[in-house]
Chains A and B, each alone.
Chain A
Amino acid sequence: MGPLSREAWAQRLAAFRASPSAFMTGPKGEDLGRDLLNDLRSEKLSEQTKVSLLVLTLEYPVQLWPDAPAAEVAATSLLDTLVLLPPRPSALRRLLLLAATTALAAGGALGPTSGASCRLLPLLLGLASGSNLEPGFGPTSEQRPLQATACECLRELESCKPGLLGGTLGLLRGLLGQAGPVQPLSLLLALALRNILVVQSRAGAGLQGLLMAGVSPIKGGLWDWTLVEEGDTHIQPQAPSWQAAEEGKHGLAAREPHLEEAREVRAAVAQLLDITYLLTPVAQAQLLWLLGWALRGLQGQPPALFKPQLVRLLGTAQMTLLHAVLALKAAFGEALFTAQDEALLLRRLTLAAQHPALPPPTHLFYLHCLLNFPENCPLGPEGEEAAPLLLRPQMCRGLLPSLLHDPMALLARLHLLCLFCAEEEEEEKDQVQSLQHSLEELLAGLQQRAALEGGPRALAVLCFQASYLVAHCLARQPTVLTPLIHGLAQLYQARPVLAPHFVDLLGQVRPELGEPLRVLLRQEVVSRPGRDEALRWHLQILAKVANGSDQCATLSFLQAAAGHCTGWDLQQALLRVCRALLQAGGGDGLADLLQVLARQLEDPDGRDHARLYYILLAHLARPKLGVALAPSLAVPALTSSLVAENQGFAAALMVQEAPAPMRLSVGSREIKGPLPVLQLQVEVLEPVYSLELRFRVEGQIYAPLEAIHVPCLCPNRPVRPLLLPLQPRRPAPAQLDVHALYTTSTGLTCHAHLPPLSVNFADLFLPFPQPPEGARPGFFEELWDSCLPKGTESRVWCPLGPQGLEPLVSHHLRPFVVVAQPPTSYCIAIRLPPDSRLLMRLEGAQGDGAPVVLRTDDWAVLPLVGNYLRGLSAAV
């Protein structure tokens, strides 16, 4: 495909700029980078079009060539284009240098293995030093701009790869002394010097040698990469925060240089500082930041070198220059600024913060600097805004806020005023009082403006922000807070439409302001029933301020309001107040109101809600009510209040599935009463309240089991066994399915499925009533005989352990023995609920077992008995 026309390119570039991401994912996106590189060499395109193509590559190289290999190819192509340019003046030469630099640096291709890097760096250095590497590289008229551009390109590459120009320090110093543009060379040298101080502190390179060397870093045609640190993670802040430097982070760990080395560094810094006045103000500031940090990294180097510059710098109100002075102040503190200097700097800042010749954003920045001034001896906590100790109210008379200021200036000045008002020094008491008085007047003025009917929202926002700021700074000053609170209450009276601001303010301020304001607002609202629009706001406020106290007035207000709440939204607002009251614990009046609402509200949703609240109020105890209505943590912050409310209920009122927080086991048997009873041991892992254990028997072989209730169980506290009576419908062992329903200490109701419990055959055994001692043999024989002929007789071999028959019987069957002739003969009678019997004779034990004759009136139990007896010996 041939080159595109100028118009086609203009269209394509416009489409790209409109949304680069959309363009690149479109059909033409993929080819853009390649077409662009090709067309740069086309002879058909005008220089103007090529400029626009190159400007695009300066802004979007990452989109055009997304990875390092692509960036490398692009940079190579750009360099080729540069070489091929005819030797007449051309605007493309400079742009191609910028573009190749950008492609390599932004694409991450810059490095010793990159061919383009190895071509670009010597070319740039050659241009920067004013020597033409390749004869005929541009006309002489272009030399100087190209020299400056090459310096800028090198500076950018050095910023992205610190240490890259380490080897050129000597060369650059030499150039600065002789010829060449002052500003680009100064900035380049300052950056390279600063970076080498960082790199060298790790690599231990000979700084002195580097600063003195006048030779090119290109050794045998190759660039010297030894000082470059590998990987992006090592790039250094050009001006790290002073706190970080204090802590020795960012590699600027102070190091002690050799004597000669230090002298050389100082000479280089002095050389740069001496000609700063030739630089543009912004470049001067950059130089000061860089040199400040260069010297900061060297221990024992007094920063006095900067002193001669300070008077000149402080004379201007140029933002970058004063900012750089502040950075030096922060970096060197007392070593560079005495207390008097500090006072002077504060004065200059104070002056600049209000000077009519400076634009408002500059004023605001200087005000910020005043409140965050890097003092020599700071008193307050770090990071908190404060008025510097040396800044007295007299100095700031022009910085007091007034209603004429725009919102940001007013707030900044107000903050300063608040800080002065908060001072508690005895000798300045009158002054503070006077300041407080002005503060009061200002707040009153703000409230008046916010109260204007139809005024813009910004005025209201400003009033509430000012109130918040004052409440924040002067929380312990009732002389300020009391009028503020009353003013706010009056503001609400005048303009209930500001209710959302009040709700927001109440949610943000500390109780010193919040509590009295709540009381006033509640009184204000309940004493003035409104309709329609005002009612909506009143209800919104009440939902925030209603609480347990003084419910009577609130309830009567709501009762009166209910009649006017015709729309769905008003009804919901009303119900939200009810909800707030409910959360505070409710009360008798509330129950009545909810019942009325549940009947009377027009909207079915409203009625349902009211009914739900009523049910909650009637059925839940106060703490549980609180939990049920509290906002749920699971709710994402941005859902609507309705969803939030429902989700809150869902979490609090629905039963949650949970892993079992307890272990349940069957304990030892104790026989009492007419039914078999299981003794359950319970052990909990966390506090559990209102526990209900529900049991279910597989196959209905027992009658339904009653649930067991336990009010409270705590871990590591002894628990009495729980008794579970069984009512078998036939005598058989069973598995009990167990569920636990309980409340956690956070108020949630949970449900857990516990592992099943086994009811063994023996757990069902009950003794017969004991006849008198002498009648026992007869009693047993009667039972024995009565089993037949309906029942059955069987013989079973009962294996015995080494101890014989006696311990086995006494351990397992003692309650059921009717007649015994220890240790050889036992007659045992067992009642099996509901109405079966099991009789056994154990006699004539032999070495490893005993024959058992048994009779029962229930055929079905025979296999169970057999299993039981066979298992006994193992269980002894």
Chain B
Amino acid sequence: MAQRAVWLISHQPRTALCGTVRFSRRYPTVEKRARVFNGTSYVSIPEDGPFLKALLFELRLLDDDKGFVEIRDSCSHINKTSIYGLPIGGEELWPVVAFLKNGMIYACVPLVEQILSPRPPLISISGISQGFELLFGIQDFLYSGQKSDTELNTKLSLLPDLLLQACPFGTLLDANLQNSLDNIHFTSVPQPQKQPAWKAGTCKKIGKTMEIIIQLTKEVQSTFFDQHDLSVPWNFNYRFKCACDLEGIMPNVTISLSLPTNGSPLQDVLVHPCVTSLDSAILTSSSTDTMDDSAFSGPYKFPFTPPLESFNLCYYTSQVPVPPILGFYQVKEEETHLRITVNLKLHESVKNNFEFCEAHIPFYNRGPITHLEYKVSFGQLEVFREKGLLIWTIGQKFPKSMEINLSGTVAFGRKSHEKQPFDPVCIRGTAYVKLHFKILDYTLTGCYADQHSVQVFASGKPKISAYRKLISSDYYIWNSKASAPIIYRKFYV
């Protein structure tokens, strides 16, 4: 369950080492156990320098990625998890949990309480998921609300102290490092029994206004094609976010989600670990099942003890008959230029009142835009020549016809590799339009959580407010004249 060592490495391409170790921590008592458990297969934790080099090589983050290197590039060297074996000094350090996010590499080596050769199955190593959780916790801490490099550096400088709280001996106590930060400043208030460990040690002051904010966000993912053998899938993911500012040690809250008549049931529900119990009907409802009338249709109750910070109480999906905006995109390669056509249609049942709505039309693996002729029926078109990007701003409303279109021709200059990174998806004719929009106080399904459905078991009466919104996420319309990168057939129906 324990970790032998943790590293944070910033990836710096085009520098001598291509990276710097920003933070590292070793756990010698765990290392001692590793030596006993791993026996003859034991490989010691290397110093930072050799580790950095080996990890960057394995993750293919060194600049000299030009030649074929058999130990990394061989077709049988297949890695399907973020867990690696690093060749160091003629031996192999395994398992190394590592991933790259926002230019930072997070890495740790979990203790394996067995012989390492042959490699034991990953599922039997408890330290793997613990290691991931530790790294995710560090990542959340570093990037939550962080905007500048200075802020990042401040947070990095706090890490040694935080890990002393959250992971003093290599065994993780709490992945939420913010809690540990709060814990560092001891409180003089004697804490009673049954204080949840995931709540920071401080107690709320009596007399402050209590508040519960509920926010239901629907993220629409969609992918459109216009080819006869491809279906048009779309996907709604709901995020149900809560922020509870309540008095007391263990306030209990129950929030219920209700469906309108004939509303689609909630499916694929994932809840926050603070939810204390769950109806098994909620658990078993899955989008891969065929629907029938006997399906559970709510209300969906979520009893929980809220943590101090705002959190995502649950995620779910729901099947909705229509996508909010239908789209069509066509790109034709003509002699010296591209001819493009985009049609968008807002579904009549959707509230025509956006906070914003725009369509991004990027052109990858080509040079900067040198020439553009276009016609839009509605809205304005902005051109980012160097980036090879068109942004069609539709604004707050679709016109009465609910239908808008754009057509034009684009020509490009010579491609330069430094300015425009290679995009592996949009090659040949493959291209897309991506929609970005947000509609406040609206959800397609009509699923709601109103103030009256909230039960609070705490002293005092909190103010309860509920919001909802519809936002787009990964809303793509692919070029109908080329093959799409997603294969989506009807075989499972």
Interface residues of A (CB under 8 A from B): 19-21, 55, 58-62, 89, 95, 98, 101-102, 105-106, 108, 141-142, 144-145, 149, 152-153, 155-156, 159-160, 178-184, 232-233, 235, 237-244, 275, 277-286, 289, 311-312, 314-324, 326-327, 330, 344, 347-348, 350-352, 355-357, 359-362, 364-365, 367-369, 372, 374, 383, 393-395, 397-398, 400, 402-404, 408, 411-412, 415, 430-431, 434-435, 437-438, 441-442, 445, 448-449, 452, 454-459, 461, 464-465, 467-469, 500-501, 504-505, 508-509
Contact = CB atoms under 8 A, between A and B. Distances in A.
Interface in B446-493: 473-474, 483, 485-489, 491-492
B70 A504 contact: yes
B20 interface: no
Contact of A237 (B37, B47, B60, B492): B37
A415 B78 CA distance: 11
Contact of A344 (B283, B305, B474): B283
A509 B121 CA distance: 24
B261 interface: no
Nearest to A329: B123
Interface in B119-136: 120-124, 126, 128-130, 132-134, 136
B322 interface: no
Interface of B: 1-2, 25-29, 31-33, 36-37, 47, 49, 60, 65-66, 68, 70, 73-82, 97, 99, 101, 113-114, 120-124, 126, 128-130, 132-134, 136, 160, 164, 168-169, 171-176, 183, 186-188, 190-191, 193-198, 201, 219, 221, 237, 239, 268-273, 275-278, 280, 282-284, 286, 288, 305, 312, 315, 417, 422, 424-425, 427-428, 473-474, 483, 485-489, 491-492
Nearest to B176: A280
A102 to B, nearest CB: 6
A469 to B, nearest CB: 6
Nearest to B179: A280
B490 to A, nearest CB: 8
Given A60-B26, A280-B176, A283-B197, A160 B33 contact: yes
B492 A279 contact: no
A244 B28 contact: no
A700 to B, nearest CB: 57
B126 A454 contact: no
Contact of B28 (A106, A153, A501): A106
A323 B237 contact: no
A852 B315 CA distance: 123
Contact of A141 (B36, B37, B186, B268): B186
Q: Is the interface of A mostly helix, strand, loop or mixed?
A: helix
A106 B26 CA distance: 12
A327 B492 contact: no
A61 B32 CA distance: 11
A822 to B, nearest CB: 81
17 contacts: A58-B168, A145-B186, A241-B120, A243-B124, A282-B173, A283-B174, A355-B315, A357-B315, A361-B82, A368-B122, A397-B288, A403-B424, A408-B81, A431-B492, A445-B483, A452-B427, A455-B422
A178, A241, A441 — most chain B CB neighbours (10 Å)? A241
Contact of A285 (B28, B124, B129, B201): B129
A140 B214 CA distance: 39
A361 B95 CA distance: 14
A315 B194 contact: no
Nearest to B483: A445
Nearest to A461: B73
B123 A404 contact: no
B424 A459 contact: yes
A785 B97 CA distance: 107
B36 A233 contact: yes
Contacts, number: 334
B479 to A, nearest CB: 14
Contact of A408 (B82, B160, B277): B82
A383 B168 contact: no
A831 to B, nearest CB: 73
Contacts of B269: 315
A372 B123 contact: yes
Contacts of B76: 465, 468, 508
Contacts of B425: 403-404
Contact of B121 (A180, A286, A356, A383): A383
A105 B278 contact: no
Contact of A152 (B73, B160, B169, B312): B169
A278 B196 CA distance: 4
Contacts of B134: 282
Contacts of A320: 129-130, 132-133
A315 B197 contact: no
Given A237-B37, A315-B275, A468-B75, A404 B485 contact: yes
Given A61-B28, A327-B123, A362-B136, 15 more contacts: A58-B164, A106-B28, A144-B201, A241-B114, A243-B124, A280-B176, A323-B126, A324-B126, A355-B270, A367-B81, A402-B485, A403-B424, A435-B491, A438-B489, A457-B73
A767 B489 CA distance: 103
A575 B167 CA distance: 60
B492 A457 contact: no
A395 to B, nearest CB: 5
Contacts of A233: 36
A19 B174 CA distance: 30
Nearest to A501: B68
B277 A456 contact: no
Contacts of B488: 400
Contacts of B284: 344, 347
Q: Which 6 A-B pairs have the closest CB atoms?
A: A237-B113, A434-B491, A403-B485, A183-B197, A241-B124, A323-B129
Contacts of B66: 457
A415 B80 contact: yes
A394 B197 contact: no
Nearest to A497: B68
A184 B99 CA distance: 30
Contacts of B65: 456-458
A537 to B, nearest CB: 11
A316 B197 contact: no
A321 B130 CA distance: 10
Given A241-B124, A403-B425, A455-B424, A59 B26 contact: yes
Given A365-B81, A457-B68, A457-B73, A327 B28 contact: no
Given A280-B198, A320-B129, A311 B278 contact: yes
A855 B275 CA distance: 125
Given A102-B29, A315-B271, A402-B486, A364 B1 contact: no
B172 A312 contact: no
A453 to B, nearest CB: 11
Given A285-B126, A356-B219, A415-B80, A237 B288 contact: no
A442 B278 CA distance: 40
B82 A404 contact: no
A455 B286 CA distance: 40
A106 B186 contact: no
A397 B492 contact: yes
A461 B68 CA distance: 9
A350 B289 CA distance: 13
B271 A285 contact: no
Contact of A445 (B97, B219, B485, B492): B485
Given A289-B1, A408-B79, A452-B427, A319 B174 contact: no
Contacts of B99: 359-361
A369 B123 contact: yes
Contacts of B424: 403, 449, 455-456, 459
Contacts of A19: 47, 49
A106 B32 contact: yes
Contact of B128 (A89, A153, A317, A323): A323
Contact of A465 (B75, B172, B273): B75
A96 to B, nearest CB: 12
A241 B126 contact: no
A412 B80 contact: yes
